[in-house]
Amino acid sequence: MAVGDKNQGLLSPFRVLDLTDELGFLCGKILGDLGADVIKIERPGGDPARRFGPFYKDQRDPEKSLYWFGFNNNKRGVTLDLEKKEGQDLFAKLAAKADFVIESFTPGWLDKFNIGYGALSKNNPKLVWTSITPFGQTGPYAKFSASDIEIMALAGCMSLTGDPDRPPLRVTFPQSYSWTGSYAAVGALTAHYHQQLTGEGQQVDVSAQATLLWAFSHAHVFWDLNRHMEKRAGSFMTGRSITGAKMRVFWPCKDGYLNFIIYGGEAGRRTNQALVEWMDSKGVAPDFLKQKDWKTFDIAKVTQEEIDRMEAPIAEFFKGVTKAEFFKEVVKREMLGYPVASVKEIFEDPQHAAREFWRELEHPELGVKITYPGPFARFTNGACDLWRRAPLIGEHNEEVYCGELGLSKSELGRLRREKII
Amino acid sequence: MDALKGIKVIEFAAFAAGPVVGKHLADHGATVVHIESKVRPDGFRAHYPPYKDNVHGLNRSGLYALCNNDKLDITLNLKKAPAGTELAKKIAAWADVVIENFSPGTMGRLGLGYEELSKANPGLIMLSSSNLGQSGPHAHHAGFGSQLSSLAGFTHLTGYPGGSPQILYGPYIDYIAVAYGAVAILAALDYRRRTGKGNYIDAAQYETGLQYLAPILLDYKINGRVAERNANRNPHAAPHGAYPCKGDDRWCAISVSNDYEWQALVKAMKNPSWAKKFATFEARKVNEDELDLLVGEWTRGFEPRELMETLQKAGVKAGVVNRMCDVYEDPQLKQRPQWVELEHPEIGKMHYQRPPFLLTKTPPGPAKRDPLLAEHNEYFYCELLGLSEEEYKKLVDEQVIY
């Protein structure tokens, strides 16, 4: 099933135990992309996130969740009941030989069974143990529960998204889990670097709320410095002109929307000039735009009246342009701006084909190859790639429990019957 | 701040995508040198609000401050070839890691491509973070994260069905690339420790962003479905949204993903008679607009924090929609603590940000405010790089160090 040689992966010598729910999926996947041996530990019957859609051919089946496929590839998978004593013992055995544990239980839950960081690091002081929760291991919210929308709310992101006269919004496809998982990977690897030099492992305490502070970063700095509060402004950009003028960001076009902003600065001037030339080539640039001296155009001092006057003919022009046409022209004319792409246009972007970004993984049990987004970065030495599809429920039980922990097949059968694995 | 002590990092980088990678390394004790020039200071210093008291100044930028604590700041005028180029190479020979986020091709044109820099330093790790990647037909196209977030699909997913897309504040996707850039450097450092080999890393912000959308990319490819924006709706939960509270423009997010949570919410609302109609998930979904209005009528009687605490105690997921003025006072972020208040000579007191992951045995910074433009020229060039006083003076006079 593997497409490349995983032993070439940058982190190929290392073993990761991944006990996370959706909040941490991407952390394990990133380490797996880099070639680490990531073992996803699920409860017997499979992880609840296997019930998240969308599904392969819309068939609701825990082995066909595209949510699962997308964030758990590059991992092997075993099942284990951590609430049972034998399950706890097996986990402790696995943890004794692991380099990383990543988990997202409510703080204190694993400690109840004596299999938290405190207990298991005694046998394996080198362990890098990354705990990923909505709010962190301690503090007044530590035991609060939260899904994507509460995380986006408490991090301040929602206060900046949506129309001013309607409720604050989140992004419709959950973002906070991916943010948190990827920043958790930074934490895990920072601790790993220290561990490799000193032999000292440690616990890494990741907070989703704190992670999402970066997602809409710098809006809060307006408050810190000047007690000015940035707020949601719909599809307009604010804060660039001292007159309070706001600039349109999204423009209806022939087949959707374009992201174009009248900017100042060098790149903005070049862009504005190029747009007027483009409009003029179609005979629709009004004289006042053609005569505008972009070199002296100052975005910081522009009035709303002037912006409105400029935006009117541009809006008219964009109505007749397709997203693909716009993209072609901005690249050719070196203008700032992009179409508002949907997943469809993302697949059609020739840049990805040229960079061979899309990767296929075989799903033998479905009899198909599925196309995935490829590596997050390219390295000249050591590889980062897609190696294997996400595991089936308990797919590697025998490989791990018998092959590595030395259990006999009959013991495995018993553990299976007793629903420990 | 010991985890990355001893690692030497230089940044030919500006704005967010490059420097915030360096910030995460600096927060853990790496020596990070931010290279600018007086001819062309970091864009955050030069023309990106906010500035303290709305007065522009190269050392008054809040955003530069946020992204560059605990770094050294030096100036180097790359327009002065060949002396500037030679000095840049010398600095790269000193470093373990180079971070750059110029437009693709720029470093090569300056004679500072990876091949050139690694000649004297074969173990060098260099991260090039760019909009669309170093290769491909669009590689040269420069842009800002606030627009790339549209090309990469994020704004299409934000807003109401049938309505305009909505902006995601700031250069959203830049900070996604930051996480992946830092991961890439840390993995390359580990690889080098074991193999002695350096690395050149090409990270396209576009491609890092798409990592976050994998399931809906698969959904299109397999099922032909194009994921659309649907405001705060969630196919797996109802109610699911932001609900109005007491006060001007105050809100609290609430989500209910199963019948147990629904019953808990009904109990918290003191069993209103209308609730019966919404007993099943299907009923809640079919009548979701009405459900939102009814829940909203109840939530209006509470302060947002009071509502969150009441519901969390009752077993219902809830979270205050924090405003920008709330994030420094949020009790959880304060307790962690997520902010470190440091004094800056021109900004005054500023909240610097700790990483969202806290290493418990080697706790991270920030410990030092961001540097002023050129603040560490003499220290870096003479003490760390080892130039003699004469050499240094000459380069300053020639405006190479400028």
> Considering only CB atoms, which chain B residues are within 8 Å of A180?
356
Is residue B89 located within the same domain as residue B162? Answer: yes
Domain shared by B278 and B364, yes or no: no
Residues B79 and B114 in one domain: yes
Does B326 fall in a domain? no
CB spacing of B228 vs A175 below 8 angstroms: no
For residue B68, give both structure tokens: 């560059």
Chain A residues whose CB is inside 8 A of the B178 CB are 214
Q: Are B227 and A173 in contact (CB under 8 A)?
A: yes
CB contact under 8 A, A347 and B217: yes
Mean pLDDT of B317-324: 98
The pLDDT assigned to B66 comes to 98
E-strand stretches of A59-99: 76-79
Q: Are residues B180 and B141 in the same domain?
A: yes
**Do residue B93 and residue B14 come from a single domain?**
yes
Radius of gyration, CA atoms only, chain A = 26
**Token pair for residue B322?**
């924090």
Pick from B64, B70, B4: nearest CA to B36 = B64
Which CATH number covers residue B261?
3.30.1540.10
Boundaries of domain holding B283: 240-320
Catalytic entry in B27, B42, B73, B174: B174
pLDDT in tens, B102-140: 999 999 999 999 999 999 999 999 999 999 999 999 999
Question: Beta strand A128-133 with A100-103: parallel, antiparallel or unpaired?
Answer: parallel
Cα separation, A417 vs B1, in Å, equals: 49
Q: Are residues B185 and B247 in the same domain?
A: no
A-B contacts (CB, under 8 Å)? 507
Yes or no, beta carbons of A206 and B356 under 8 Å apart = yes
Answer yes or no: are the C-beta atoms of A11 and A35 closer than 8 Å. Answer: yes
Stated pTM of the model: 0.98
Query: What is the mean predicted confidence (pLDDT) over A26-37?
Result: 98
Rounded to 10 deg, the angle between the B19-26 and B172-195 helix axes is 60
CB-based contact B136 A167, cutoff 8 Å? no
> Each residue of B293-318: pLDDT tens digit?
999 999 999 999 999 999 999 999 99
Close Cβ partners of A123 (under 8 Å, ≥ 6 residues apart): A92, A95, A96
User: What residue of B is the nearest CA neighbor of A228?
Assistant: B325
Residues of B in Cβ contact (< 8 Å) with A220: 324, 327-328, 351
By CB atoms closer than 10 A (0-12, 13-18, 19+), residue B285 is middle
Q: Among B59, B115, B130, B332, which would you mutate to test the A interface (most chain A Cβ atoms within 10 Å of its Cβ)?
A: B332
Confidence of residue A2 (pLDDT cuts 50, 70, 90): very low
DSSP E strands: which ranges in B86-166?
97-100, 125-130
B53 is catalytic: no
Q: Answer yes or no: is pLDDT of A341 > 90.
A: yes
Q: Say what the pLDDT of residue A301 is.
A: 83
Buried b (16+ CB within 10 A) or exposed e, B222-257: beebebebebbbbeebbbbbbbbbeeeebbbbbbbe
- Distance (Å, rounded) from C-alpha B66 to C-alpha B180? 19
Does A167 contact B251 at a Cβ distance shorter than 8 Å? yes
Examine the domain organization and report whether B314 and B370 are in the same domain. no
Q: Which residue type sits at A419?
A: K
Q: Which of B135, B214, B312 sits opposite A70 (nearest CB)?
A: B214
CB contact under 8 A, A337 and B147: yes
A chain contacts of residue B63, beta-carbon cutoff 8 Å: 218, 221
pLDDT digits (tens, 9 = 90+) for B224-236: 999 999 999 999 9
**What CATH number does the domain containing B37 carry?**
3.40.50.10540
In a domain, B224, yes or no: no
Question: Looking at residue A267, what is its pLDDT?
Answer: 84
pLDDT at B270: 98
Distance between CA atoms of B247 and A159, rounded to whole angstroms? 14
At residue A3, the pLDDT reads 57
Instruction: Specify the residue for token string 């050719």.
Output: A332
In angstroms, the separation between the Cα of residue A55 and the nearest Cα of chain B is 7
Give A106-130 pLDDT, tens digit per residue: 999 999 999 999 999 999 999 999 9
Residue B350 backbone dihedrals phi, psi, to 5 degrees = -140, 140
CB–CB of A153 and B147 under 8 A? no
Task: Indicate whether B75 and B197 sit together in one domain.
Answer: yes
- Nearest-CA distance A190 → chain B (Å): 7
Shared-domain flag, residues B246 and B352: no
Dihedral Cα A362, A364, A368, A372, nearest 10 deg: -30
Residues in CB range of A265: below 8 A, 6 or more apart: A299, B47
- Runs of H (alpha helix) within B95-250: 106-109, 114-119, 145-151, 172-195, 205-210, 214-223
Q: What is the pLDDT of residues A68-86, one digit of tens each?
A: 999 999 999 999 999 999 9
- In this predicted structure, the answer to whether residue A244 has a pLDDT above a threshold of 90 is no
Is the confidence at residue A245, as pLDDT, over 90? Answer: no
Point out the domain boundary residue: B285, B320, B355.
B320
Last residue of a domain, one of B320, B355, B385: B320
B286 and B356 share a domain?
no
Tell me if B383 is assigned to some domain. Answer: yes
Q: Which chain A residue is nearest to residue B326, measuring alpha carbons?
A: A156
Structural domain tally of chain B? 2
First to last CA, chain A: 24
Distance, in Å, from the CA atom of B160 to the CA atom of B162, rounded to the nearest integer, reads: 6
CB nearest to A186's CB, from B156, B243, B357? B357
Determine if the peptide bond prior to A48 is cis (ω within 30°): no
Residue B255: pLDDT above 70?
yes
Residues B388 and B260 in one domain: no
The residue from B320, B352, B367 where one domain ends is: B320
Q: Which two tokens stand for residue A369?
A: 């190859």
**A229–B324 CB contact, under 8 Å:** yes
Q: How far apart are the first and last CA of chain B?
A: 31
Tokens for B7, please give them.
Answer: 């690692």
Query: Which residues, 6 or more positions from B349, have their beta carbon under 8 angstroms from its beta carbon?
Result: B341, B342, B343
B327 within a domain of the structure (yes/no):
no
B330 in a domain, yes or no?
Answer: no
Q: Would B221 be classed as within a structural domain?
A: no
> A318: which chain B residues are within 8 Å (Cβ-Cβ)?
none
Q: Whole-angstrom Cα distance, residue A316 to residue A279?
A: 10
Q: Which SS3 state, helix, strand or coil, does residue B9 take? A: strand
Cα dihedral A405, A411, A416, A419 sign: negative
Please give the domain boundaries of chain A with CATH numbers for all domains. 6-214+353-417 (3.40.50.10540), 235-340 (3.30.1540)
Residue A376 identity (one-letter amino acid): F
Mutation target to probe the B interface, by most B beta carbons within 10 A, among A345, A381, A386 is A381
Shared domain for B165 and B308, answered yes or no, is: no
Cα separation, A127 vs B264, whole angstroms: 39
Buried b / exposed e across B112-135, counting CB within 10 Å, b at 16+?
bbbebbbeebeebbbbbbbbbbbe
Q: Nearest CB to B362: which of A173, A194, A374? A: A194
pLDDT at res. B107: 97
Percent of chain B that is helix, strand, coil (3-state, to 5): 40, 15, 45
Question: Would B297 be classed as within a structural domain?
Answer: yes
The per-residue pLDDT of chain A, averaged, comes to 95
Mean pLDDT of B162-175: 95
Q: How far apart are CA B323 and CA B262, in angstroms?
A: 27
Q: Is residue B222 part of a domain?
A: no
The answer, yes or no, to whether residue B40 has pLDDT greater than 80, is: yes
Contacts of residue B330, Cβ cutoff 8 Å, sequence gap at least 6: A154, A209, B322
